[in-house]
Amino acid sequence: MALSKFNVFIDNVLFNTLTGYAIELDQKELELLKRGEVPGHLKGIIEEGFSSGFRDLENTVENFLKKPILEPTLLLTYNCNFDCSYCFQKGFRKDLSVSDRVIRGFINYILKNHNGRKVRVTYFGGEPLLELRRIEEISKSLPGVDYSFSLVTNGSMLTKGVVDRLTPLGLSHVQITLDGPREVHDRRRYYIDGRGSFDVIVKNLRELQDRVKVVLRVNIDVHNFHEVDKLLDELKSEGISNVRLDPHLVHTNLFRNEWWENVIPRETESDVLLTFWQKAHERGFKIPQDIFRLGLCVAYVDEDIVVDPEGKIYPCWAFTGNHLYVKGRLEEDGTLTLNEKLLGRKTLRIREECKECPFLPLCFGGCRFLSVLEGKGYNGLDCRREAYEKIVKLVKNIMR
């Protein structure tokens, strides 16, 4: 039996980046497997989880693209009640909210394309809760559709009352951001008038963590990564533990080069993430089971449209508002006009350099947005192999 090229040894653990299987090995098993020999008693498990080849990868991708769920995203507005220091939309924030025409187009798109499948919508902004009525309007216009939705919100307006109003309409989870303990968070994420937002978000979080699933995003750069411990301790002391943590390294955007100097240097990215998760683990926060999943992002899935308030379609959230990367247009009747050059099925290809890489299923050549940021163009390689080699060590913590 041939061992998979997607197997990675992490000390005494064998992990497969395609199947997600991980097993602990004793010294003898480890030595044999490293030599390419399969111990007799492990044949079953190795065949199931550690022998996948390139063909299996292609099948997995094909199955993934045949998605059982339709997952479109709608930016309801570019407006926001915050003015975060690093907001990637600062450069092009327009006083613009979604029009009736786009709302009708979005509803028609779902009606035309769900084909009996589940529909999971993400509402994004600016601040999507500035357009709460639009969320209600769309949610009530899809009778007979197996519909649910999530919100990417700054959390300031997400009160218990709002959650209770949206839950019967299909609210499944929310993503909220806290960037550090109070003084650190408030220096970065403040209201338009300069007031800090930490207290109001923590109050809301406390009240809603048991009513709705919460993904707690922490945007990390050189100024706050030393403050992660304090944030985690503060969350604990505030009684906030029922959240899924989501550390995210802040990058610059195409318009605001001044942010470059604050970005975590690429060579230390993996150490920063590893440290974050270790600290979280020590404090009893869970490392999500699906932290290592198939690396096909929304940019490759053409039916999972990301639509802005003007009806423009983008490859993913990070490109929104950038006129150079408009992937197409959503028409009022729900049809799409798409730009061939940015089509997922045209841009998804396995590069020569990646064919022997064990991290290919997690990566697929990296992030399209980061490739553009680094001047390599939309189809360039955004290789983070060194980072994967370190980060994959977290598999051991997940197994515990």
For binding to ligand SF4 (CB under 6 A), which residues are involved?
A: 80, 82-84, 87, 89, 125-127, 154, 189, 353-354, 357, 359-360, 363, 365-366, 381, 383-385, 388
Q: Is the Cβ of residue 336 or residue 360 nearer to ligand SF4 in the bound state?
A: 360
The Cα diameter of the chain in Å comes to 68
Q: Is the Cβ of residue 145 or residue 150 nearer to ligand SF4 in the bound state?
A: 150
Cβ of residue 351: shortest distance to ligand SF4, in angstroms?
6
Q: Is the Cβ of residue 21 or residue 92 nearer to ligand SF4 in the bound state?
A: 92
Cβ of residue 98: shortest distance to ligand SF4, in angstroms?
15
Cβ of residue 54: shortest distance to ligand SF4, in angstroms?
13
Q: Is the Cβ of residue 139 or residue 371 nearer to ligand SF4 in the bound state?
A: 371
Cβ of residue 357: shortest distance to ligand SF4, in angstroms?
3
Q: Is the Cβ of residue 80 or residue 264 nearer to ligand SF4 in the bound state?
A: 80
Rounded CA-CA distance 327/315 in Å is 6
Cβ of residue 381: shortest distance to ligand SF4, in angstroms?
5
Q: Is the Cβ of residue 207 or residue 389 nearer to ligand SF4 in the bound state?
A: 389
Cβ of residue 220: shortest distance to ligand SF4, in angstroms?
14
Q: 3-class secondary structure for the chain? A: CCCCCCEEEECCEEEECCCCCEEECCHHHHHHHHCCCCCHHHHHHHHHHCCCCHHHHHHHHHHHHCCCEECCEEECECCCCECCCCCCCHHHCCCCECCHHHHHHHHHHHHHHCCCCEEEEEEECCCHHHHHHHHHHHHCCCCCCCEEEEEECCCCCCCHHHHHHHHHHCEEEEEEECCCCHHHHHHHCEECCCCECHHHHHHHHHHHCCCCEEEEEEEECCCCHHHHHHHHHHHHHCCCCCCEEEEEECCCCCCCHHHHHHCCCHHHHHHHHHHHHHHHHHCCCCCCHHHCCCCCCHHHCCCCCEECCCCEEECCHHHCCCHHHCCEEECCCCCEEECHHHCHHHHCCCCHHHCCCCCHHHHCCCCHHHHHHCCCCCCCCCCCHHHHHHHCCHHHHHHC
Written as six digits, the tokens of 109 are 């798109």
Cβ of residue 26: shortest distance to ligand SF4, in angstroms?
29
Cβ of residue 292: shortest distance to ligand SF4, in angstroms?
13
Q: Is the Cβ of residue 76 or residue 80 nearer to ligand SF4 in the bound state?
A: 80
Cβ of residue 340: shortest distance to ligand SF4, in angstroms?
24
Q: Is the Cβ of residue 139 or residue 153 nearer to ligand SF4 in the bound state?
A: 153
Q: How far, in whole angstroms, is CA 199 from its chain's centroid?
A: 25
Place of tokens 């299987």: 21
Cβ of residue 284: shortest distance to ligand SF4, in angstroms?
28
Q: Is the Cβ of residue 114 or residue 185 nearer to ligand SF4 in the bound state?
A: 185
Q: Is the Cβ of residue 120 or residue 384 nearer to ligand SF4 in the bound state?
A: 384
Task: Give the CA dihedral 59, 62, 65, 66, nearest 10 degrees.
Answer: -100
